[in-house]
Amino acid sequence: MWIIKRYWQLLCSFAHRGGYNRAEYLKKKGYFKSIGEHCFLQPWNFGTEPYLISFGNNDHIASGVTFVNHDVTALMFRYMEKDSSIQERKGEILIGDNVFIGSNSTILYDVAIGDNVIIGAGSLVNKDIPAGTVAAGVPCKVIGRFDDYKDKIIRRIYIKQTNTLKR
């Protein structure tokens, strides 16, 4: 019965256009283990165990991001070995504050993403990502510092605004 409720909540979230509205709706419904303030959620797929996902404050998750909360190879092994005691592996996904996850990334279970992190588009996050970093790739690796990227983007916006005002 709980799975029907989860899918119904997710289906209803389609009616809430925009990532901020979707996040607030899912927060109100208790869809995740936890979710902070000012989150933006574009994905539709949070895995079959969204209750194992925790979001911090000011997290922005782009479209096409997939959350994998379990490993079903145990089901295959259970059949191969004719051993019903082999259990699926499940794990939490913990996302800190001020995190951006780029489109079409995959976040695997038993992973923690620290505060102030940017994950590049198309990444496979299969291990913890430390706070204050920019990470990307398959598998995801640290490629820079969050503060450096933030300064670069803010400087670029400031220069663009200044040039527009001069016209």
CA 73 to each of CA 17, 77, 90: distance values in angstroms, whole numbers, following the listed order: 36, 6, 11
Residue 2: the pLDDT is 56
Q: What is the CATH number of domain 2-166?
A: 2.160.10.10
Phi-psi sector, 16: left (phi>0), alpha (psi -120 to 50), beta: beta
Q: Report the length, in residues, of the chain.
A: 167
- Of the candidates 86, 91, 88, 83, the one whose C-alpha atom is nearest the C-alpha of residue 67 is 91
Per-residue pLDDT, 160: 66
Angle between helices 19-28 and 2-13 (to 10 degrees): 150
pLDDT score at 40: 98
Model pLDDT, residue 55: 98
- Taking the CB of residue 20, how many other CB atoms lie within 10 A of it? 14
Q: What is the pLDDT of residue 10?
A: 59
List the pLDDT tens digit at each of the 167 positions of the chain. 556 665 555 555 555 578 999 999 999 999 999 999 999 999 888 988 999 999 999 999 999 999 999 988 999 999 999 999 999 899 999 999 999 999 999 999 999 999 999 999 999 999 999 999 999 999 999 999 999 999 999 888 777 666 665 65
Residue-level pLDDT at 102: 98
Name the phi and psi angles at 110, rounded to 5: 60, 40
pLDDT of res. 8: 59
Every domain of the chain and the residues it spans: 2-166
Say which residues have a Cβ less than 8 Å from residue 114's Cβ, sequence separation at least 6.
Answer: 96, 128, 129, 130, 131, 132, 133
Provide the 10 A C-beta neighbour count for residue 116. Answer: 20
pTM exceeds 0.75, yes or no: yes
Q: CB burial class (10 A; 0-12, 13-18, 19+) of residue 78? A: middle
Residues 6+ apart with CB under 8 A from 41: 19, 22, 23, 26, 61
